[in-house]
């Protein structure tokens, strides 16, 4: 579904990514793990068209996205749940979800999807008229995920979904990620909690200072002594 080849990204004189190559097949959950500053979020932002690539190619379903504007990338079927959630604070829960469907014109289907989001996230249904800023961190994470799902993405990019959440909520969010995957959405997951990420992923890539240093099936990465020592706290 997605092929990233030789991707390099610069922030001024700083090389954030160096010749990164990886792929995602339809239906997979692929995890990107690594320390802060390794380049994980930069990869997602470049796929989304927010950050320009200095070199390399991003192919999605056979189409080169490298110079495609962000709104067109959403229309093609890629949606990102950003780090820190980035909900529209003054808008209501429902307005935030409706913003997720801004590229769609099928109003009846949008209404059905809205009902489906409220079924998946009952707390959002209870708070549909509340401003998003009044929600807890976990509720805002659910809202950010629901907003992205309203675009009916083929590929969902998740950036640090567990950040700042209590352990019980982290388990809830990861359970929802697995449900979304089982329903047919392909997922690229960036996550500091490497144990959780590798626990639900099919495959993983480890990044260090902008380069892929280890890759393989998630179970193999979780069993790799070097990965365990560096990222799994052992």
In a domain, 14, yes or no: yes
| Residue 90 DSSP code | T
Q: What is the CATH number of the domain that holds 56?
A: 3.40.50.300
Please state, for a pLDDT cut of 70, what percent of the chain lies above it: 99
In a domain, 175, yes or no: yes
- Over residues 21-27, the mean pLDDT reads 97
| Confidence tier at 233 by pLDDT (50, 70, 90) | low
Taking the C-alpha atoms of 124, 135, 106 and 59 in order, what is their torsion angle to the nearest 10 degrees? -110
Q: Which two tokens stand for residue 210?
A: 């902008």
Q: What is the pLDDT of residue 103?
A: 85
In a domain, 117, yes or no: no
In a domain, 227, yes or no: yes
Q: What is the pLDDT of residue 234?
A: 53
Q: What digits encode the pLDDT tens for the residues 128-186?
A: 999 999 998 888 989 999 999 999 999 999 999 888 888 888 888 899 899 999 999 99
In a domain, 141, yes or no: no
Burial of 102 (0-12, 13-18, 19+ CB in 10 A): exposed
- Domain range for 6 is 2-86+157-231
In a domain, 50, yes or no: yes
How many domains is the chain built from? 1
In a domain, 120, yes or no: no
Neighbours of 16 (CB within 10 A): 22
* Whether 33 contacts 194, CB under 8 Å: yes
């Amino acid at each position: 579904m997605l092929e990233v080849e030789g991707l390099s990204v610069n922030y001024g004189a700083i090389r954030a990514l160096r010749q990164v190559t990886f792929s995602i097949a339809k239906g997979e959950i692929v995890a990107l793990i690594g320390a802060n500053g390794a380049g994980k979020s930069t990869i997602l932002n470049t796929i989304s068209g927010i950050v320009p690539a200095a070199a390399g190619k991003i192919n999605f379903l056979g189409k080169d996205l490298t110079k495609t504007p962000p709104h067109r990338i959403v229309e093609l079927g890629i949606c990102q749940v950003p780090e820190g959630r980035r909900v529209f604070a003054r808008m209501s829960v429902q307005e935030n979800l409706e913003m997720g469907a801004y590229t769609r014109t099928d109003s009846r289907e949008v209404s059905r999807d809205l009902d489906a989001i409220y079924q998946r996230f009952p707390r959002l249904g209870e708070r549909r008229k509340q401003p998003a800023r009044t929600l807890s961190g976990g509720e805002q994470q659910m809202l950010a995920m629901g907003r992205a799902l309203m675009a009916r993405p083929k590929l969902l990019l998740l950036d640090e979904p567990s950040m700042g959440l209590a352990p019980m909520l982290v388990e809830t969010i990861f359970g929802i990620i697995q449900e979304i995957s089982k329903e047919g959405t392909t997922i690229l997951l960036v996550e500091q909690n490497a144990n959780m990420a590798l626990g639900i992923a099919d495959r993983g890539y480890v990044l260090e200072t902008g380069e892929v240093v280890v890759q393989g099936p998630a179970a193999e990465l979780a069993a790799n002594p070097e990965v365990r020592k560096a990222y799994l706290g052992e």
